[in-house]
Amino acid sequence: MPEMKYHLPAVVEVDSEKCVQCHVCIQVCPAKYCNDASDLEKGITVNHDLCIGCGNCVRACTHDARIIKDDTERFIEDLKKGENIAALVAPAVDVNFPGQLKKLLGWLKSIGVKMNFDVSFGAEITTYQYLRAIQAGAKTPVIAQPCPAVVSFIEIYKPELMPYLAPTGSPVMDISAWVHKNHPGMKHAFISPCIAKSREFQDPNTKGQITYNVTITNLKKYLEENNIDLSKFQDTNFDGPMEAERGILYSQPGGLFETFKRYNVPLKMHQVRRTEGNEIYEEFFEELEKEIKEKKCDVVLVDILNCLHGCNRGTGTNYDERTTDEILKLQSDRLEKQKKENYPDPDALANLQKILEDMGDVDFSRKYTDKSENYKTLEDPDEAGIKALYEEMEKFTEEDIKNCAACGYMSCEAMAKAIMNGLYRPQQCHHFLEVYYRKHSKDTD
């Protein structure tokens, strides 16, 4: 494997003792070549510099061989050392700790967290910044970037789309920028539904604003292992700047557009494109790139998420705890209560708008880095190379090119590229094994 130019932090680790090399992880991976299946002793390993952090492999692995990596342990240890830390709490936390959000905030304060901030309000900032960017003539379609897996995919595999990524931060980065400006001197910890956020926080373009990615999954594990009952802690409110309105919906598919609609921008239905799940890698980006090149794209805003059910059931959550319908009801009930208590009339919304407009002294900008050199270091076999590799796999006729996807790469040609780059071996091909069996089995004529 050639040396990668950009080194990215690990968000998924592999337990080689549990990996049975079933190749399901490769099959569900949109990046494919971040998986190395060439060593039968070590199991399938991950090249973090090509991994986008989508988390598909973690959910797909039935052997618990894929493990999420975050900063929960370091966060807890640093609090014990007396570090000055603020918690930034994702909108998805409320529905993953139903009825316990204020208790959780109380517990965080009890273990040393100095202040708690609602990332839902960061979503309000983000939406307003998107509006300003579009009004200022940003390249359209503006591709929303709350999802770091989407950003990584574009930076590594689709750099032509980089100019269309939103020129402003994600909700957590925006609330972090506001907190650093108004409450300086604290490290920031994100209470998070997403393993890929570590990529965002360690990217030089985000200026080291956030120190810890604390996933809901590992936070719940810590609470359970230490017999911590949240019901025993005092109800505690967020520390500001004020309550969010529709920004609390950002963690569900379409939440961005629901928040954006408040500004009554005259967009037609087709000009705001909502998409999520594996479709974005398998189809959407190809279509979008084609439409832009052909100057046929009329989309203004792309509301896009890696996870099929949004951040509410993100890669850093306990996916099977409750259904999507249950989660959406929880969020709907929270929105109804939020509007009743905090936004009962136009004056309250006008006050929210004024606060957002008065944040002009905070830098919410975001830049990106073309990391496609990592992918370009992989070799592409030419026609002669593919033919030679096919012959190593006992593929000599058109009928032998089965594209059976048993390898996980979905096509024989894609597998040939993996073999050329030392990520796979011809002897692992299903067709090769079938031919070998027919040649050597006593059960065949």
Q: Is residue 78 domain-shared with residue 21, that is, in the same domain?
A: no
Give the residue from 267, 255, 262, 265 showing the smallest Cα distance to 350.
262
Q: Average pLDDT of the chain?
A: 94
Using a pLDDT cut of 70, give the percent of the chain over it.
Answer: 99
Residues 135 and 247 reside in one and the same domain: yes
**How crowded is the C-beta side of 396, counted as CA atoms within 13 Å?**
2
> Does residue 77 sit in helix, strand or coil?
helix
At 224-276, the pLDDT tens digits run 999 999 999 999 999 988 899 999 999 999 999 999 999 999 999 899 999 99
- CATH number of the domain enclosing 20: 3.30.70.20
Instruction: Note the maximum CA span of the chain.
Output: 85
66 confidence band (pLDDT: 50, 70, 90): very high
Work out the burial of residue 439: count CB atoms within 10 Å of its CB; fewer than 13 is exposed, 13-18 middle, 19 or more buried. Answer: exposed
For 187, the enclosing helix (H) or strand (E) is strand 187-192
Decide if 120 is inside a domain: yes
Instruction: Pick the closest to residue 252 from 147, 117, 391 (CA basis).
Output: 147
- Indicate if 159 and 226 belong to the same structural domain: yes
The dihedrals phi and psi of 307, each to the nearest 5 degrees, come to -85, 135
Which two three-digit tokens encode residue 118? Answer: 């609602």
Looking at the predicted structure, is the pLDDT value of residue 37 above 70? yes
Of 41, 69, 97, the position where a domain reaches its end is: 69
**Residue 259: inside a domain, yes or no?**
yes
Say which residue the tokens 């990520």 belong to: 423
Residues 391, 328 share a domain: no
Q: 44 and 141: one domain?
A: no
CB atoms inside a 10 Å sphere around CB 391? 12
Model-level pTM? 0.94
Q: Are residues 424 and 326 in the same domain?
A: no
Confidence of residue 444 (pLDDT cuts 50, 70, 90): low
Say which range, 2-11, 21-30, 180-189, has the weakest mean pLDDT: 2-11
In this structure, is residue 166 part of a structural domain? yes
Residues 164 and 206 in one domain: yes
Residue 2: which pLDDT band, with cuts at 50, 70 and 90? low
pLDDT of residue 439: 86
The DSSP bridge partners found for residue 86 are 115, 188
Does 52 share its domain with 175? no
Same domain, 292 and 148: yes
* The domain boundary residue, chosen from 303, 324, 357: 357
Domain encompassing residue 351? 72-357
> Structural domain tally of the chain?
3
- Kindly state whether residues 311 and 339 are assigned to the same domain: yes
End residue of a domain, out of 357, 374, 409: 357
Q: Is pLDDT at 170 greater than 90 in this prediction? A: yes
Residue 377 included in any domain: no
Task: Give a yes or no: residue 31 inside a domain.
Answer: yes
375 within domain boundaries: no
Confidence band, pLDDT 50/70/90 cuts, at residue 443: low
Instruction: Give the bridge partners for 13, in sequence order.
Output: 67
Q: Are both 182 and 103 inside the same structural domain?
A: yes
Give the residue among 250, 239, 302, 238 at the shortest CA–CA distance from 273.
302
CA torsion, points 90, 92, 97, 98, in degrees to nearest 10? 130
16 inside domain: yes
| Residues 191 and 46 grouped into a single domain | no
Question: Quick one: which H or E segment has residue 160?
Answer: none
- Tell whether 101 is covered by a domain: yes
The strand pairing partners of 45, in sequence order, are 36
- Integer CA distances (angstroms), 192 to 101, 217, 257, 275, 313, in order: 13, 9, 21, 21, 11
Cis link prior to 167 (omega < 30° from 0)?
no
